[in-house]
Structure 1
Amino acid sequence: MLERELIQNRGFRNVADGGEITGFQFLLRMPNYRGLWGSLIDGVSVDVGDLHWDPDVPLWTLQGRRFTLAELRRSTDVRWQLDELATITVPHPGGLAPGVHELRVAIALHAPYIPAEFQPSVFPAERKVTIVA
Structure 2
Amino acid sequence: MIADRIIEQGTLTTHEGHAAVEVRIPWYRALPGSCIAGATLSIDGIEAPADSLRWSMNGRTFTFDELIQETDEWWFPLDSATLTGQLPLRQDLQEHEVRVGLKVYIPYIITDHGVLHIEESDTKSMKVEQR
Aligned equivalent of 1:102: 97
| Distance in 1 (alpha carbons) for counterparts of 2:101 and 2:71 | 24
Counterpart of 1:117 (choices 88, 113, 118) is 113
| Distance in 1 (alpha carbons) for counterparts of 2:54 and 2:128 | 19
| Distance in 1 (alpha carbons) for counterparts of 2:112 and 2:65 | 20
**Contact 1:59–1:67 under 8 Å retained in 2:** yes
1:60 is the counterpart of 2:55: yes
C-alpha displacement of 1:50:
2.5
- Number of residue pairs the alignment of both structures matches: 123
Structure number with greater CO (CA < 8 Å, separation at least 6) is: 2
Aligned equivalent of 1:18: none
Moved over 3 A (4+): 53-57
1:61-100 equivalent positions in 2, closer than 5 A: 61-92=56-87, 95-98=88-91, 99-100=94-95
1:5 is the counterpart of 2:17: no
Aligned equivalent of 1:29: 24
1:15-63 deviation digits (Å, cap 9, x = unpaired): 2xxxxx1301100011101110100101111222231236664201110
**Contact 1:34–1:82 under 8 Å retained in 2:** yes
Query: What is the TM-score with the length of structure 2 in the denominator?
Result: 0.82
C-alpha displacement of 1:115:
2.5
Residue identity over aligned pairs, in percent, reads 25
CA gap of 1:122–1:55, structure 2 versus 1, over 3 A, is farther
Unaligned regions of 5+ residues in structure 2, if any?
none
| Distance in 1 (alpha carbons) for counterparts of 2:96 and 2:33 | 28
1:49-90 deviation digits (Å, cap 9, x = unpaired): 231236664201110101110111121201101111001111
* 3-state secondary structure, aligned to 1:120: strand
